[in-house]
């Protein structure tokens, strides 16, 4: 799936529950908060381990896949909760 919206993402930050958290924004649907478990970053985006360096590198190299995944959540109902991305989403 190609991203057709102009989606902007914040830099990933480590969460205290073995995940990286970030937000995405696009005109027309506003902000959405996302959670990407380290396990998914390793399994689907190729991080070698769960070190901050590996997670950030994999996040950057997999940015287009992440953008494609979050695009699907843009027009759905949203009440402010953090959306956890599954391996299937990527």
pLDDT category of residue 4 using cuts at 50, 70 and 90: low
**Residue 57: how many CB atoms within 10 A of its CB?**
16
> What's the whole-model pTM score?
0.86
The strand pairing partners of 23, in sequence order, are 33
The three-class DSSP label of residue 29 is coil
Tell me the average pLDDT across 61-73. 93
Domain that holds residue 67: 8-89
Total number of domains constituting the chain: 1
Bridging pattern class, strands 83-84 and 30-37: parallel
Residue 2 in any domain: the answer is no
CATH number at residue 62: 3.30.160
What is the tens place of the pLDDT at every residue in 36-65?
A: 999 999 999 999 999 999 999 999 999 999
């Amino acid at each position: 799936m190609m991203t057709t919206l102009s989606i902007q993402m914040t830099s990933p930050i480590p969460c205290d529950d073995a995940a990286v958290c970030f937000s995405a924004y696009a005109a027309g649907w506003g902000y959405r908060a996302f959670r990407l478990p380290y396990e998914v970053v390793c399994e689907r985006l190729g991080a070698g381990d769960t070190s901050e360096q590996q997670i950030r590198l994999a996040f950057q190299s997999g940015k287009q896949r992440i953008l494609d995944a979050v695009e699907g959540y843009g027009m759905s109902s949203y009440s402010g909760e953090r959306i956890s991305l599954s391996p299937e989403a990527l």
